[in-house]
């Protein structure tokens, strides 16, 4: 629709108040939408009063660039005198000056259904809006912005909560679930099982109020460990190992940062496969990073015991926390 011989020109009213003259931002957004990655000057802006450039100056800049068409949009809400008289007169003057260039004049913003969505967005963003309402709106936006057709219903709350926590729709494609993962996680929560984390940040983010109604608690051993120069194991790895060797009430392991901790958890669960088959543990492994993160998650994705992971470098505390909190909410809804 648009080529390198076209220019779009947005016209604003202009104001003596400097911060009110901001349609350049709209112009930049429009340019990125219609010409992704373009470094040209395809969308220009002008003002009728108080601010440079004025309309004729902006039109002259467009023409000097060798364009064949100029599409002019009045960035106004209604068709007042500026839109119906002042701007058209200036455009007619430009037509006489530049007969070889075609000028097109669009309708103003006017009454449009999309404006209702913008108004609702502004109203709902007022300070004091309840967190639950903001969260609900966020999930509605997520549902509208991507197609979740074909994803099992039981996985949707987890995938959407991870996207909500990261603003990254890639997780819709990269998250992987063992067939028994969600059922195992919910059963563990409702049975009052504890949740073991690799680092304190993951422990802090988990909704302990929801977990406590079932009697479970969140465990993280890393704070209790000193650096040990006689071993090449990381503190996170040692924390997971000590907890799994000595704690009998763990139902979920959530690892968001340390690939070494994830590898150790996989090793221990396999070494004690017969015992854990009677009391299955859900292993959530989503470490982030460039060293062993993908490798550890790839290994986890091949296991027979229940797991949730994602096959990419991305992950981290927000992802691990989002998965656990989604399971906690699902457990509450089942109750």
Given 13, 31, 73, 164, the catalytic residue: 164
pLDDT band at 242 (very low <50, low <70, confident <90, very high): confident
Please list, in sequence order, all residues whose beta carbon lies within 8 angstroms of the beta carbon of residue 149, skipping any fewer than 6 positions away.
none
Q: Would you say 72 and 106 are in contact if contact means Cβ atoms under 8 Å apart?
A: yes
For residue 101, the model assigns a pLDDT of: 93
Residue-level pLDDT at 3 = 63
pLDDT digits (tens, 9 = 90+) for 64-97: 877 889 999 999 988 889 999 999 999 999 999 9
Question: What average pLDDT does range 208-229 have in this prediction?
Answer: 81
Mean pLDDT in residue range 328-335: 85
Say whether 164 is catalytic. yes
Name which residue leads in pLDDT, 219 or 229.
219
Asked whether the predicted pLDDT for residue 228 surpasses 70, the reply is no
With 80 as the cut, is the pLDDT of residue 229 above it?
A: no
What is the distance between the alpha carbons of residues 41 and 53, in angstroms, rounded to a whole number?
15
CA distance 212 to 198: 20
Could you report the per-residue pLDDT of 147-176, keeping only the tens digit for each?
999 999 999 999 999 999 998 999 999 999
Is a pLDDT exceeding 80 seen at residue 183? yes
Look at the block and give the residue holding tokens 């470094």. Answer: 39
In this predicted model, what pLDDT tens digit does every residue of 99-109 receive, in sequence order? 999 999 999 98
**Domains in the chain with CATH codes:** 6-105 (3.40.50.1400), 116-145 (no CATH), 146-334 (3.40.50.10230)
pLDDT value for 103: 94
If you ran DSSP here, which 8-state letter would residue 309 be given?
Answer: E
Indicate the pLDDT class of residue 264, thresholds 50, 70 and 90: very high
Tell me which H or E stretch contains 235: helix 235-246
Q: How far apart are CA 266 and CA 284, in angstroms?
A: 11
Report yes or no: 196 and 261 within 8 Å, Cβ to Cβ: no
SS3 205: helix
Tell how far CA 121 is from the center of its chain: 17
Say if CB 156 and CB 282 are below 8 A apart: no
Residue 52 pLDDT greater than 70, yes or no: yes
DSSP 125-175: TSTT--HHHHHHHHHHHHHHHS--TTS-TTTHHHHHHHHHHH--TTHHHHE
pLDDT, tens only, 126-142: 655 555 677 777 888 89
Beta-bridge mates of residue 282: 252
Name the percent of the chain lying above pLDDT 90. Answer: 58
Q: What is the pLDDT of residue 35?
A: 83
Q: What is the dihedral of CA 210, 214, 220, 223, to 10 degrees?
A: 80
- Taking CB atoms within 8 Å and a gap of at least 24, the contacts of 277-282 are 277/305, 280/180, 280/184, 280/305, 280/306, 281/184, 281/188, 281/250, 281/251, 281/252, 281/253, 281/305, 281/306, 282/181, 282/184, 282/185, 282/188, 282/251, 282/252, 282/253, 282/306, 282/307, 282/308
**Confidence tier at 187 by pLDDT (50, 70, 90):** very high
Is the per-residue pLDDT at 117 higher than 90?
A: no
Whether the per-residue pLDDT at 243 is higher than 90: the answer is no
- pLDDT at position 132: 67
Q: Residue 272, Cα to own-chain centre: how many angstroms? A: 38
Inter-axis angle of helices 235-246 and 259-271, nearest 10: 30
């Amino acid at each position: 629709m648009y080529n390198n011989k076209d220019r779009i020109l947005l016209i604003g009213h202009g104001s003596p108040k400097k911060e009110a003259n901001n349609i350049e931002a709209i112009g930049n957004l429009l340019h990125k939408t219609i010409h992704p990655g373009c470094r040209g000057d395809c969308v220009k802006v002008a003002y009728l009063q108080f601010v440079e450039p004025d309309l004729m100056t902006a039109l002259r800049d467009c023409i000097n660039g060798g364009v064949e068409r100029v599409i002019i949009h009045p960035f106004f809400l209604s068709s007042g005198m500026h839109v119906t008289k002042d701007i058209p007169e200036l455009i007619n003057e430009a037509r006489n000056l530049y007969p070889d260039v075609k000028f097109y004049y669009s309708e103003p913003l006017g009454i449009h259904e999309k404006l209702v969505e913008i108004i609702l967005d502004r109203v709902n963003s007022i300070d004091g809006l309840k967190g639950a309402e903001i969260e609900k709106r966020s999930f509605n936006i997520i549902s509208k912005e991507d197609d979740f057709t074909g994803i099992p219903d039981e996985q949707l709350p987890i995938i959407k909560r991870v996207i909500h926590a990261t603003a990254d729709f890639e997780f819709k494609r990269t998250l992987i679930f063992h067939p028994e993962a969600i059922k195992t996680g919910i059963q563990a929560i409702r049975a009052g099982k504890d949740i073991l984390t690799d680092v304190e940040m993951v422990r802090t983010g988990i909704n302990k109020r929801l977990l406590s109604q079932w009697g479970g608690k969140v465990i993280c051993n890393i704070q209790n460990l000193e650096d040990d120069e006689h071993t090449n194991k990381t503190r996170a790895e040692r924390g997971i190992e000590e907890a799994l060797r000595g704690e009998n009430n763990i139902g979920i392991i959530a690892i968001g940062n340390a690939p070494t901790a994830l590898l150790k958890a996989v090793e221990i669960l396999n070494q004690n496969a017969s015992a854990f088959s009677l009391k299955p543990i859900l292993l959530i492994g989503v470490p982030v990073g460039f060293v062993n993160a993908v490798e550890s998650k790839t290994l986890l994705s091949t296991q027979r015991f229940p797991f949730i992971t994602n096959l990419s470098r991305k992950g981290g505390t927000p992802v691990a926390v989002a998965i656990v909190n989604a399971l906690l909410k699902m457990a509450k809804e089942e109750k």
